[in-house]
Structure 1
Amino acid sequence: MRLLRLLSILLLAACAGCASQPRTEAAAPATRRPLVILVSIDGFRPDYLQRGHTPTLAALAADGVRAKAMQPAFPTLTFPNHYTLVTGLYPDHHGIVNNRFTNPDTGAAFVFKDRYTTADPTWWGGEPIWITAQKQGLRTATMFWPGSDVAISGVRPDHWLYYDGSMSSSERVDHLLHWIDLPAAQRAQFYTLYFDAVDHASHSHGPPSPQVDAALAEVDDALGRLVAGLRARGLYDDTDLVIVSDHGGATTSKALRTYLDDVVPLADIKVGNYGVLATVTPLPGKQASVEQALLKPHPHMTCWRKSQVPARLHYGSNPRLPPILCLAAEGGIITEHAYENQGGHTSVGEHGYDNIDPKMQALFIARGPDFRRGLVVPGFPNVDVYPLLAHLLRIQPAPNDGDFAAVAPLLR
């Protein structure tokens, strides 16, 4: 009898620890607020689901909602799109206009791989969802999401880490589960999780490569580990999982390269960026000749004055953008001969191209108590993810460019 009493006490304690979650008064006073976990698989194209290496993702999609594709913001680059996903603002409006750019007033540079330049909170406009949530009484935890290690408006998530590329996909999941296991007073209601293995493999070996297949399997295994961890804690059916990517990827070709020094004298311009999206400032007295050279048609490159970028791209008004923007055709790169002659690295796979390009489209899968089941929907812009997250968290969204009506049909 004493043994039975002891077992009963232990079981009651265990159940109390895993089931306790705060309630939401405004949206659903009779039910627990679900956990919300936003997962990004960097560089995951929607058609990768057909390659047979992602059974966990396939199962989540079958039991939830999948978009045929999600349209990334332009430019289809990592930092601009990750910040768009959590602010609901186009890059022109939140200010992270590229992976690398310069403040024209101060000359300061933003370089996405340099923590010391990205740490300045003045770069980061808008209000990321973790701040929106914290203002309204929720706790948050972020695993490597771009911007989450910055004190934006003086605020960081309750739990966060500096980016560490050496941490494996499974280790990232284990750390997130550790956060979920914290005592109730410290436990978050909103989490982000970031995987970069697919994007790295695509850059190094190209989207069609077996290395990308291996990365897909690695990330899918990690997601399986997350699902199993949530099930073991009795939380799987109380968790809204939203799985996205920031962009797709395309194979590059030397035949599609544009050498800027074949088009315009480099002595007449200042180049802010080479690559898929090149940014150019004519030097004093050279504006007319530079525009004449760049703005005419080119075989594998299109250039615009920033004020004349097509309106559908929602890009070109931010003062951090230089006067002329040049976009490579899919598979192309804008470079210069000296860089190539000196052995400069060019990726086998790239992104940053036009956001209507099928190979640039992003992933959207969602599964949980708030979502319909077995539903496939047309594509929608990724700015709509932010108001969706605000709805899932039962909070009032900050001003944003998204349209909740576009994603409302996904919900029960």
Structure 2
Amino acid sequence: MDVDRRFQRMKFLFRLLALALLPFIAACAGSPARDAADHRPAPLLLISIDGYRHDYIDRGLSPNLAALARDGVRARSMQPSFPSLTFPNHYTLVTGLRPDHHGIVHNTMDDPQLGHFDLGDRKAVSDGRWWDEATPLWITADRHGLKTATMFWPGTEADIQGMHPDHWRPYDGDVTADQRVDQVLAWLDLPGDRRPGFLTLYFDAVDHAGHEHGPDSPEVNQALRDTDEALGRLVAGLRRRGLLERMNIIVVSDHGMATVPMGHVITLDGLLPLDQVRLVTAGVLAGIDPKPGTDFAAIEARMEQPHAHMQCWDKSRVPTRLAYGHNPRVPQLLCLADAGWTISTDSYMRRHPQTGTRGEHGYDNADPRMGALFVAHGPAFERGVVHAAFPNVDVYPLMAHLLGLPAQPNDGDYDQVEDMLVPAAR
């Protein structure tokens, strides 16, 4: 066979091979990044640093987080859902639903059938009936054969729709940041049939310091350093295992933090008859329900008049942009403090006098001080990208896509965050 004929034959064989590979190439181009070792989606680790305001990273106290951002994607800010509180927004992140839609409408709430819920009440927190208006991502993952592990995340202690994550631990504030990291690494060391493909990790020192001392305090700065050291421990552990470049990591927070100076308290005693109402919540967002036989319309008419440092609405008249007020667990009357103020009663203030500047969140989610953190790193993400601000409901469809899972009905928009992924992962 002469050289020309051999060349033509080789061209023909290469064409056949290319045609055979076209379906595979096309499938890969539209699929999330996958672990080359076992053809499953690359593992995804979702990390929350509670209370980490979006601009804290610019203080230069989080070098490990900043390194992930430089080598990945950072959002200028991520807007929390209203109210900008811990439990509602953590559940939004893993369901893609706003609090009014997923049912965890506040850290403290009442339900006509279930009674009272408070984030410090272990019995209520672990009762799945509070949580089952939505399907968190770990349940969808388990239903599709993907193992899950949660190192603290609101909702993971509850039996939701009959399921827990495959590996989980009840919240214990005494577990140190390093111990939390070590547990995640231990789960990643499990044999292949038990190793989780979706994991969560939760840090809370930054939030605690912000509440107790205010966001501009030395204590917050120290909490930033300490949490970043734990993150560095995680990064080093992943690198030793050869996982750092093989898994996707998303670091978020639930909300920011605003300074509350001494004396910035609105007391309700002179504004409405407290003996005729039930004060369901106070603080930044006060929730008020009527007691039987009360002329609540008259009370509402008075409270909806302009007030210094506070605005009140009947739940049916909450501004549309807040996407809040339709869920039965939302109290009938809502009063929202201006950023830097809180709402209380005289009796509570006597029992808990404010002794210095502190911090709060829960305010209007459009306030820049409530802006949350978003950093992403891994094989699916572009490198060195600063992304425009986006709402936190978009994180859920992004994660579902990365894991190759069908997203449940949600309020997010994957199209708004798709461009942070490399083309092959879109």
TM-score where L is the length of structure 1:
0.91
Residues in 1 aligned to 2:30 and 2:419: alpha-carbon distance in whole angstroms: 21
1:304 to 296, 313, 330: 313
Residues in 2 aligned to 1:255 and 1:108: alpha-carbon distance in whole angstroms: 33
The equivalent of 1:289 in structure 2 is: 298
Q: Give the letter for the 1:117 counterpart.
A: A
1:186 maps onto 2:190 in alignment: no
Residues in 2 aligned to 1:232 and 1:34: alpha-carbon distance in whole angstroms: 17
Trace 1:380-391 onto structure 2 (pairs within 5 A). Answer: 380-391=390-401
The equivalent of 1:355 in structure 2 is: 365
Residues in 2 aligned to 1:353 and 1:259: alpha-carbon distance in whole angstroms: 17
Q: Give the letter for the 2:109 counterpart.
A: F
The equivalent of 1:207 in structure 2 is: 215
Residues in 1 aligned to 2:172 and 2:114: alpha-carbon distance in whole angstroms: 28
Secondary structure of the residue that 2:331 maps to in structure 1?
coil
1:241 to 249, 271, 280: 249
Q: Give the letter for the 2:64 counterpart.
A: T
The equivalent of 2:31 in structure 1 is: 27
Deviations 1:247-267 (A, max 9, x none): 000111244311101211212
Trace 1:53-64 onto structure 2 (pairs within 5 A). Answer: 53-64=61-72
Is the contact between residue 83 and residue 147 of structure 1 (CA under 8 Å) also seen in structure 2?
yes
The equivalent of 1:112 in structure 2 is: 119
Residues in 2 aligned to 1:277 and 1:42: alpha-carbon distance in whole angstroms: 19
Trace 1:65-80 onto structure 2 (pairs within 5 A). Answer: 65-80=73-88
Residues in 2 aligned to 1:239 and 1:410: alpha-carbon distance in whole angstroms: 16
Residues in 1 aligned to 2:248 and 2:350: alpha-carbon distance in whole angstroms: 50
Residues in 2 aligned to 1:165 and 1:239: alpha-carbon distance in whole angstroms: 27
Decide which moves more: 53-62 or 287-296: 287-296
Trace 1:361-372 onto structure 2 (pairs within 5 A). Answer: 361-372=371-382
Residues in 2 aligned to 1:234 and 1:215: alpha-carbon distance in whole angstroms: 29
Is the contact between residue 268 and residue 290 of structure 1 (CA under 8 Å) also seen in structure 2?
no
2:327 to 318, 334, 344: 318
Secondary structure of the residue that 1:390 maps to in structure 2?
helix
Displacement of 1:106 in angstroms is 2.7
Segments of structure 1 that go 5 or more residues without pairing to the other structure are: 1-23
Distance 1:139 1:263, change over 3 A: same
Displacement of 1:364 in angstroms is 0.2
Displacement of 1:82 in angstroms is 0.2
Displacement of 1:228 in angstroms is 0.6
The equivalent of 2:348 in structure 1 is: 339
Residues in 1 aligned to 2:152 and 2:230: alpha-carbon distance in whole angstroms: 16
Q: Give the letter for the 1:368 counterpart.
A: G
Secondary structure of the residue that 1:261 maps to in structure 2?
coil
| RMSD, aligned α-carbons | 1.7
Trace 1:116-131 onto structure 2 (pairs within 5 A). Answer: 116-124=123-131, 125-131=133-139
Task: Give identity over the alignment, percent.
Answer: 53
1:258 to 259, 263, 266: 266
Trace 1:386-397 onto structure 2 (pairs within 5 A). Answer: 386-397=396-407
Segments of structure 2 that go 5 or more residues without pairing to the other structure are: 1-27
The equivalent of 1:164 in structure 2 is: 172
Displacement of 1:313 in angstroms is 0.8
The equivalent of 1:10 in structure 2 is: none
Is the contact between residue 256 and residue 329 of structure 1 (CA under 8 Å) also seen in structure 2?
no
Is the contact between residue 265 and residue 343 of structure 2 (CA under 8 Å) also seen in structure 1?
yes
Residues in 2 aligned to 1:343 and 1:184: alpha-carbon distance in whole angstroms: 51
For these two proteins, the number of residue pairs brought into alignment is 388
1:149 maps onto 2:157 in alignment: yes
Is the contact between residue 40 and residue 193 of structure 1 (CA under 8 Å) also seen in structure 2?
yes
Displacement of 1:184 in angstroms is 1.1
Distance 1:117 1:156, change over 3 A: same
TM-score where L is the length of structure 2:
0.88
Secondary structure of the residue that 2:417 maps to in structure 1?
helix
Residues in 2 aligned to 1:68 and 1:25: alpha-carbon distance in whole angstroms: 28
Residues in 1 aligned to 2:137 and 2:114: alpha-carbon distance in whole angstroms: 29
Deviations 1:252-310 (A, max 9, x none): 12443111012112122211111100001233232132112210000111000101111
Residues in 2 aligned to 1:107 and 1:233: alpha-carbon distance in whole angstroms: 45
Deviations 1:124-177 (A, max 9, x none): 121100001111110000001000111100100000000010111111000100
Residues in 2 aligned to 1:166 and 1:309: alpha-carbon distance in whole angstroms: 39
Residues in 1 aligned to 2:354 and 2:129: alpha-carbon distance in whole angstroms: 31
The structure having more radius of gyration, on CA atoms, is 2
Is the contact between residue 35 and residue 246 of structure 2 (CA under 8 Å) also seen in structure 1?
no
The equivalent of 1:15 in structure 2 is: none
